A and B are shown apart, each in its own frame.
Chain A
């Protein structure tokens, strides 16, 4: 028994006491094989999963090292069954290998006949194999490389993919580090990705994920396809790439609803890729139009299902996923890992904040009460109407006004889910609204005014959830959201985390109606914030 910072639980979670003197060392050593699950103020929780252990194997860690790390840092004895389980799980990795055979093309090789037979008989792998070359070798249809890897993960015999990546069409790209440099964590993230070949980088909003993408492109020096969530986001990627790299305007193409340019670096929206005509996806061909050397998935947690499926066919190309949170409300995180690649870099938000790269934030939930008449209406409403009734309560308006008044010189975003609520607020506050229907030009112009400080308050619908870049927002007021979505909460918090010139604290307010589903959903989101290390307070509106 040591006096270490780590406590191993029987449900395979690891508790790390962050104030312990060895905590940092322990964190570095367990990060390769354990998933950070939550990071509140005192004790972080990591989880051991088969996928995490296999990823560690893929990255060159062996079971002995993993067990040694656990024993070295664990405060109490580690149950032997757990150690055996770790060794067994890690031992399953690499029994099957995908390699590029000079004669037969893509083949799967096993060092164990019974494992191979088990896999061949599994229902999930049906139709993915070609002819059997010998006892331990079988041809794999190249188009099934991704699907097979997914299927093998599910049957518990993950394959080591040694078939390598195609280099793609070369294209000179360099970072233009004039007057700025890549931050340490950005460089580590890009290098982590490059050494791993493919994978996901998790960084908080405002921590400069675009630059990690640019750095990866400068490493690949090849034609690149960038998939983003909206055309505004596409515009920002384009601006950022022109400013930060050697790329010129002519080298970057936009593939969206409005324009269909395919250039050495092409930025496409998920929306256009997944638009369907007569049951087919006409634009998915984009993946094949050029010999891409790198594919970047921005906001990978939003990756739509058709792109998922197509990505399975792209296993020979390097893939980089960027996101602030790997939480998917549909629970498909595993799919992301198996198709894009394992998590290559992850840092708790609070750590990047403590390095001064993102602003500290003060999160407050403000609770308002419904007047009796509205309570009655709420109580008798149909289940499905209740959230809307509560979320759009009129009582929130004076609170919004009060909060805006409390931060007079700070750019403030008011974010809501319901358009009529936003319209009402716009009237009350006398400021503009951006919704999905706002024209792109008008949107850009409003953003610019907001940036220049001419507009102190901007109302935005959920279109602003993703990839908009408002450098100086320092107060966000959330009046309604989509049913306790945790990823939305992460994105919205990210809106205000850009470091402020004067180092001041950002404020993140959520207004909820007590004793309604609104408060229940809020609790869900608050828990997520707390798990990211952002403690919050709850205030009654009367106490503001």
Chain B
């Protein structure tokens, strides 16, 4: 075996996948074959980054191996007898992440080579001469902890925070569906818009920025369209908001784990001020160190707490090569942010947090776990004579929708308190519900009989509802009640609006219809808007929605990608460039790009080969059989069977795509006549 590339070629699928997962930065850009993968993984920057992720003992073993003559075996590292097994485990791990190469180390005598870039990176440390590496200790200091007071309340508090998090995000999204903020020319949100959110949620600016960033990362909000540059809730949000709190929480927590953006600088407290949601270079170290912090927190015994200074020291021991300032920033922000999400409470990890750091946890399982931990949702409310509706727990999505329609939120927390007012009742009726339906709906949801004044208020609002009609086209007011007309005419604002009485029951105005609405409302009426056909139009305000943003490419995170890449790399080694040997379909349909992209995505998720028509650089049409590895915006990465390597195909040049399985053998050319050139 001569190189890392050789080693990688010999690894089995599982080992190769693990390597790709651990060295995500090495597969960006996506390598064409094993050699390219090995060379990208041996680059100095990638190796340095891999070393930064090593814990203290791993780093010590790597150094010991690096300073020894190559190849070296675990024997050169002197450790106490009881740590021999641990030593082998560490060497195997170094091998798994490709910092050393050779045959898979099976025992202490297996010889491995340290990657050259790693030797360089370590050799840069003059204070570590070879002689001092005689004996090393592989154990980590035990975590310094103290007893956590009231430990039994920890998970409950986490649950409350998780519920509050979900509420904050819904509040934010609901607010933006009415008032979508416009992004700055330079990208991101204006400070004013962030402040509006912080006021809305009753938090500081930093926390408001955090919720906005998390909402965007979770795909709950996004740019409405390129032209208007407004941010609004996405289509996905409409599904999300109807889910149970546990199902809402899981994707949010997962999104937070993915976040690689600098949120600390948005408040302008540290260094340059960044705009919330503005483009910024990804900082993968944030994600990595955040995971490390959570991992560390999860190692603390339940009922114990590791205070911040100790936590930071332990983290430093686990990431000895990471920059101290980064450790500090991430450790601090992780504690603060995880608290907001209920992942930790009072600096200790909660049951929710432990579920989240499970290495193999999937979003669906996480949602189930969260649902089990969070207090059960309430389907009923208690109606009282003071016109409050109290839900004695987190309201179910359906209940929340009903109540936010007929009532205003008065307080939140363990329970939700709503108050019905004449305005809120009118709002519910304006959405098209009849008073009888509304009362019936409330009755089925109420644990107690509805108080008589509540029913009276709804019927009363219905009686007044529509008593005043405002026209939008000609700007006029009409009412069957002449006294109302008289009242409006006598209003001090009348002169400014240029009101003229056209008939006993009609006033015309020179002002825009909106101003007339305000006039009528301020005079205590509930006006209805009348459409061109004379029928009243529901009063509900327009709601903004954005398309779902494409999930950002997250190499190494997505299982489908890892499997696809593993198998494509494997094929690049195993298959001879088939070229002319492949039978190609006689004809491929010409398809619109969107349809093509859909077929390609299906091919990727199902891991099946697909035929594509492709215009190469020379302009000639080719037909290629490919295995899609990744789709990213305007291009796909795919293993090209005819070339035997992974290539990038520009989406706009793909004329059509058909899954190989969908093509009957009768439609195939017996011998490939497609172009086999490498011209792209």
Q: Give me the interface of A with B, judged by CB distance under 8 Å.
A: 1, 7-11, 13, 15, 17, 38, 40-43, 45, 71, 74-80, 365, 372, 375-376, 378-380, 514-515, 523, 526-527, 530-531, 534-538
Contacts and interface: CB of A to CB of B under 8 A. Distances in A.
Given A1-B156, A43-B384, A7 B415 contact: yes
A376 B483 CA distance: 4
Nearest to B413: A9
B411 A11 contact: yes
Nearest to A76: B414
Contacts, number: 120
Contact of B157 (A78, A375, A527): A78
Contacts of B156: 1, 76-77
Contact of B411 (A10, A74, A376, A526): A10
Nearest to A15: B415
Given A77-B157, A537-B452, A1 B375 contact: yes
A78 B481 CA distance: 53
Given A7-B413, A11-B413, A380-B490, A77 B386 contact: no
A76 B375 contact: yes
Nearest to A383: B492
A9 B414 contact: yes
Nearest to B456: A538
28 contacts: A1-B375, A9-B411, A9-B412, A9-B414, A9-B417, A11-B412, A11-B413, A13-B413, A15-B392, A40-B384, A41-B384, A41-B385, A42-B448, A76-B160, A77-B155, A77-B414, A78-B153, A79-B161, A372-B483, A376-B483, A379-B483, A379-B484, A379-B486, A514-B460, A515-B524, A527-B387, A530-B386, A535-B451
Interface in B408-427: 411-415, 417, 422
A35 to B, nearest CB: 15
A15 B164 contact: no
Contacts of A534: 385
B451 A13 contact: no
Given A71-B153, A80-B346, A514-B460, 10 more contacts: A75-B414, A76-B160, A78-B157, A79-B413, A375-B483, A380-B487, A530-B386, A536-B453, A537-B452, A538-B453
B393 interface: yes
A38 B385 CA distance: 11
B97 interface: no
A353 to B, nearest CB: 15
B183 interface: no
Given A7-B415, A8-B414, A74-B414, A375 B481 contact: yes
B153 A9 contact: no
A380 B486 contact: yes
Contacts of A536: 385, 453
A249 B244 CA distance: 72
A530 B387 CA distance: 9
Contact of B487 (A45, A77, A379): A379
Nearest to B492: A383
Q: For the complex of A and B, list the 3 residue pairs with the smallest distance between their C-beta atoms, beginning with the closest.
A: A77-B156, A379-B487, A9-B413
Contacts of B384: 40-43, 530
Nearest to B155: A77
B17 interface: no
B559 interface: no
B559 to A, nearest CB: 35
Which of B157, B384, B451, B482: most chain A CB closer than 10 A?
B384
B374 to A, nearest CB: 10
B329 to A, nearest CB: 23
Nearest to A372: B483
A523 B417 CA distance: 19
A45 B413 CA distance: 13
Contacts of B150: 71
B78 interface: no
A535 B160 contact: no
Contacts of B483: 372, 375-376, 378-380
A380 B411 CA distance: 39
A359 to B, nearest CB: 19
A13 B390 contact: no
B453 A77 contact: no
Contacts of B417: 9, 13, 15, 45
Contacts of A380: 483, 486-487, 490
A538 B161 contact: no
Contacts of A523: 422
Given A78-B153, A538-B456, A515 B464 contact: yes
Contacts of B153: 71, 77-78
Interface string B452-467: 1100100010001000
Interface string B431-474: 00000000000000000100111001000100010000000000
Given A10-B164, A76-B156, A538 B452 contact: yes
A7 B415 CA distance: 7
Nearest to B452: A537
B484 A40 contact: no
A74 B387 CA distance: 24
B352 to A, nearest CB: 12
A121 B454 CA distance: 53
Contact of A10 (B388, B412, B481): B412
Interface string B137-180: 00000000000001001011111110010000000000000000
A41 B446 CA distance: 14
A462 B593 CA distance: 80
Contacts of A15: 390, 392, 414-415, 417
A376 B390 contact: no
B516 interface: no
B54 interface: no
A523 to B, nearest CB: 8
Interface string B469-508: 0000000000001111011001000000000000000000
Contact of A42 (B382, B393, B414, B490): B382
Contacts of A77: 153, 155-160, 414
Nearest to A377: B483
B345 interface: yes
A79 B154 CA distance: 10
Contact of A376 (B385, B387, B414, B486): B486
Contacts of B448: 41-42
Nearest to A5: B392
A369 to B, nearest CB: 11
B393 A76 contact: yes
A77 B350 CA distance: 13
Contacts of B411: 9-11, 13
Contacts of A538: 452-453, 456
A317 to B, nearest CB: 39
A8 B414 CA distance: 6
Contacts of B453: 365, 526, 530, 536-538
Nearest to A374: B483
A288 to B, nearest CB: 45
Contacts of B388: 40, 43
A538 B482 CA distance: 27
A17 B392 contact: yes
Nearest to B150: A71
Nearest to A13: B411
Nearest to B416: A9
Contacts of A71: 150, 153
A509 to B, nearest CB: 15
Contacts of B164: 10, 79
Contacts of B385: 40-41, 530, 534-536
A75 B160 contact: no
Contacts of A1: 156, 375
A448 B115 CA distance: 109
A422 B206 CA distance: 61
Interface in B512-566: 524
Contact of B386 (A38, A76, A80): A38
B249 to A, nearest CB: 15
Contacts of B484: 379
B327 to A, nearest CB: 25
